[in-house]
Amino acid sequence: MPADKVPAPRVAECPVHLEATVSAVHSLGATQSICIFHLDIIRVHLHPSIGMDGHPNRVDPDKWRPLLMSFQQLYGLGERLEESVLAQIPEHLYAVSKR
């Protein structure tokens, strides 16, 4: 399916889409065979089934179970272990100012 802001297409079956532009590329090490890409996220698409009740622009971590790859093996997420102290920080303090 088409993206809104970038030329790359989206995958209809994916519940989360991040549209981004590359704002910088940095070589890591002398060989320049490894690069770090700095992306600016310009549009986020979330399927309604993973949204947090009462907060349509937030993902509910208890509803979304992404597939993760670790050391070439696929894993899902388990149950929450304990409450995060990061969750106690007011969300507005995470806001990043525009450059």
Output helix, strand, coil percentages for the chain, rounded to the nearest 5: 10, 35, 50
Q: Is residue 2 part of a domain?
A: no
Q: Is residue 6 part of a domain?
A: no
What pLDDT digit, counting tens, does each position of 73-82 carry? 888 877 777 7
Using 50, 70 and 90 to split pLDDT, how confident is the model at 5? very high
Query: Is the entire prediction scored with pTM above 0.95?
Result: no
Q: Is residue 82 part of a domain?
A: yes
What pLDDT digit, counting tens, does each position of 34-57 carry? 889 999 999 999 999 999 999 878
Q: Is residue 9 part of a domain?
A: no
Number of domains in the chain: 1
Q: Is residue 32 part of a domain?
A: yes
What tokens appear for 30 in the block? 């002398």
Residue 29's domain comprises: 16-94
pLDDT mean over 82-99? 72
